[in-house]
Amino acid sequence: MIESGWLWAVFTLLAAAGQTARNAMQRELTASLGTVGATHVRFLFGFPFALLFLLGVALFSGSALPRPDTSFVPWLLAGALFQIGATATMLAAMGQRSFVMVVAYIKTEPIQVAIFGLVFLGDAVTVPMMAAIIIATVGVVIMSFKPEGMTGGIRPTLIGLASGGMFALSAIGYRGAILDLGHPNFVMAATFTLACGLVLQAALLTAYLALRDRAVLSAIMAQWRPSLFAGFMGATASQFWFLAFALATAASVRTLALVEVLFAQAISTFVFGHKTTPREGLGILLIVAGVALLIWMH
């Protein structure tokens, strides 16, 4: 594996920023397209950009396309299917809770990523790394705990936590697929995996909607302008996620990705008019502390 230095952290920060923007766009699309339709947007309008990214990498790097073994397929399927489920449950939860709260519940993901990464990929989890994950996750929990918002029942919370678990399994699946390729050029390996994953997801959800709800497909086409930009942002964010997965453990990447909560807080404040409370401020400080510890260890 190529020595990553700080490159994986740069990729992760860019991915988190892009994903925050995409989540906000998909949240708006959910009202007109429904949960499945808004989920499909990121894949249907994202895969053409992923193919362009792959073409660009092939032309500018001169690297040959990978020749995956059959073992690549289960990793890819796990990454793709869990990501579909995670995105759908995330959007469903966003319809019931505030933007920043749902993202916070989802971002309890790093602890699960660390466990799954150790079990399925053999990614080491050191004591300082686990401490960083726990500190940052506690910050997320503090930010998400809003007694006045719990009157709607526990169901939205469980949906958000389930989404985080599926995002964790998706990250492990995609990192496993990238590593399975064994390609000397990590950019090619990451971009190839992304293109395969998005094509697979677009095909599966298009077939599902064609059989179950063709009206949603028509509605998606009618919303092609905002959907195109959401697809581009989704593909771009995913490109950076995959590059980070190629260079660092999924636990490191997804813990640093908790800065997305801070990005979401900024969107909630400046776009949706939410005011930061002292409790949320404490949560932010813990997230920053956990992330800083993680970076320091690298």
According to the model, what pLDDT value does residue 97 have? 53
Dist CA 203 CA 16 (whole Å): 26
How do the domains of the chain map onto residue ranges? 7-297
Work out the number of other CB atoms within 10 angstroms of the CB of residue 148.
Answer: 5
Alpha helices in 145-277 (DSSP H): 155-181, 186-212, 214-222, 224-247, 250-256, 259-270
According to the model, what pLDDT value does residue 151 have? 46
According to the model, what pLDDT value does residue 243 have? 97
Taken in order 240, 57, 5, 175, is the CA torsion positive or negative? positive
DSSP 30-65: HHHHHHHHHHHHHHHTTHHHHHHHHHHHHHHH-PPP
Mean pLDDT for each consecutive 10-residue tract of the chain (298 residues)? 70 90 75 82 94 97 94 97 86 62 74 93 92 91 66 65 90 97 96 98 94 90 88 94 96 90 76 77 90 84
According to the model, what pLDDT value does residue 186 have? 96
According to the model, what pLDDT value does residue 96 have? 60
Give Cα separations from 156 to 36, 202, 251 (angstroms).
17, 27, 25
The number of angstroms, rounded, from the C-alpha of 283 to the middle of its chain's C-alpha atoms is 21
Size of the chain, expressed as the number of residues it contains: 298
Radius of gyration, alpha carbons of the chain: 18
